Amino acid sequence: MLTRKQRDLLAFIHKRMQRDGVPPSFDEMKVALDLRSKSGIHRLITALEERGFIRRLAHRARAIEIVRLPDDLAAQGGGGFQPRVIDGDRPDTAQPDAALPSRARPVAVDAVELAVMGRIAAGVPIEAISEVSHHVAVPGQMVDRGGSHFALEVKGDSMIDAGINDGDVVVIREQDAADDGDIVVALVEDQEATLKRFRRRRGMIELEAANPAYETRILPPDSVRVQGRLVGLIRSY
């Protein structure tokens, strides 16, 4: 049995992971639950982990896996829920399928091939990139069937607290508008492309890093063009 705050936090994390492909920051969780400090979020996260609803992944910044959802939450939009982090165990190929444990049985995967348009800065902006460097296969459920998507390799660590590391490949849905809090590919002065959290404030555009070592860039609206919104992330080990 979850408390109301535990359930609200689990629902918020699930919604953001479905939308962005990465969990929200502790600051965003604090604001969403109207708590005064992040220590309350830490306690709720620990309680959810102890009850088997989430798992924190070691050695990764703010990496959370949702293991399961309560029945009432699943019924409100989490039906068919599967954890976003895939078990990496590799079964013995000589073992017949019927003898494999259920979690290791091969399944048909709906995959989509996307063009990787080069590298995107999650740090100091780099020059905008428009040439395809290679292609990558991504799960079909990561992309919207009605939209156009592309992928970029991340360079830098300014989004590390959003779970985005140097060398990750991000999946981007092409669009020219964004809501406050979206992680976007922004083109600055038609020359530099960067991956940042997008916000509007006092008639200006803020491109916010997810790493306290980097300052938020504040720019006039006519110098920033949104190229797309983050919808997924692929990491290799």
Query: Which is nearest to 153 in space by CA: 144, 142, 164, 145?
Result: 164
Coil, helix or strand at residue 131: coil
CA distance 170 to 24: 16
Q: Are 209 and 143 in contact (CB under 8 A)?
A: no
β-pair partners for 187: 193, 225
Return the CA Rg of the chain.
Answer: 19
Count of beta carbons in the 10 Å neighbourhood of residue 66 = 21
State the Cα–Cα distance between residues 184 and 227, nearest whole angstrom.
7
Buried/exposed 93-114: b ≥16 CB within 10 Å, e otherwise: eeeeeeeeeeeeeeeeeeeeeb
Residues 194 and 208 sit within 8 Å (Cβ to Cβ) = no
Q: Which residues contact 114 (CB under 8 A, 6 or more apart)?
A: 135, 136, 137, 138, 143, 149, 150, 151, 171
Task: Provide the annotated active-site residues.
Answer: 158, 196
What six digits make up the tokens of 3? 């408390």
